[in-house]
């Protein structure tokens, strides 16, 4: 197969002389390889944001300054089931991203291996759903912690547990960044599969 810019010779019918000509050919390997490298970089970014979200949520804890020997007021992520789900979900997502990095490297080395891209597309879609569920559940609880619910007489707690609320809000934002990165991964996989 001819490379881009390779000289070819053509023989003319009348004179029998060979004339050099440049035959333009395209190589579909470069765009796929570029997408694979970008896929790997986005996977690394998603791993960083997922680790940051899980670590931030798991280490967020605050004690109120006024406590007695018998009574202590403390807020931690494990006091809320949605935050516990958030930590477990992000830990699973981190594990998946670590395991998907070698597969992404294989996609860089073999840009025409469409089976690998289909596998990553399916698994990324599952993880996007999982990440969205964790981020949405956490966002709901963060909203209630910040504003409460007057119709059910739930008061907001962030005026007292401000450090706790800042930590869980930051973790939720990091998880939503992971959602956006997973959407980018799925879009790039679909584009790469379309370029056959």
Tell me the three-class secondary structure of 111-129, residue by residue: CCCHHHHHHHHHHHHHHHH
pLDDT the model gives residue 194: 82
CA-wise closest residue to 188 among 98, 90, 94, 107: 107
Q: How far is CA 112 from CA 30, 64, 119, 152, 192, in A?
A: 11, 58, 14, 57, 9
d(CA 91, CA 8): 56
Query: Do residues 128 and 100 touch, judged by C-beta distance below 8 A?
Result: no
What does pTM read for this prediction? 0.77
pLDDT in tens, 90-117: 999 999 999 999 999 998 888 777 888 8
DSSP string, 166-180: HHHHHHHHHHHHHHH
pLDDT the model gives residue 130: 94
Query: Do residues 60 and 164 touch, judged by C-beta distance below 8 A?
Result: yes
Q: Which two tokens stand for residue 146?
A: 């910040």
Within the chain, which residues score under 50 in pLDDT? Answer: 1-2, 5, 7, 23-25
List of domains in the chain: 30-65+74-194 (1.20.120)
- Give ∠ CA 17-23-27 in degrees, rounded to 5: 155
């Amino acid at each position: 197969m001819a490379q881009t810019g390779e000289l070819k010779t053509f023989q003319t019918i009348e004179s029998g002389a060979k004339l050099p000509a440049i035959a333009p050919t395209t190589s579909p390997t470069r765009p796929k390889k570029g997408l694979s490298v970008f896929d790997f970089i986005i996977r690394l970014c998603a791993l960083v944001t997922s680790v940051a979200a899980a670590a931030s949520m798991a280490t967020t804890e605050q004690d109120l300054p006024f406590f007695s020997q018998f009574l202590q007021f403390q807020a931690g992520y494990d006091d809320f089931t949605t935050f516990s789900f958030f930590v477990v979900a992000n830990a699973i997502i981190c594990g998946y991203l670590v395991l998907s990095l070698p597969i992404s490297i294989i996609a860089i080395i073999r840009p025409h291996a469409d089976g690998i891209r289909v596998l990553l597309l399916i698994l990324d879609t599952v993880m996007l759903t999982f990440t969205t569920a964790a981020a949405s559940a956490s966002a709901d609880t963060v909203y209630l912690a910040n504003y409460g619910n007057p119709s059910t007489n739930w008061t907001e707690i962030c005026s007292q547990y401000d450090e706790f609320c800042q930590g869980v809000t930051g973790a939720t934002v990091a998880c939503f960044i992971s959602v956006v990165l997973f959407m980018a991964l799925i879009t790039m996989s679909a584009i790469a599969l379309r370029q056959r």
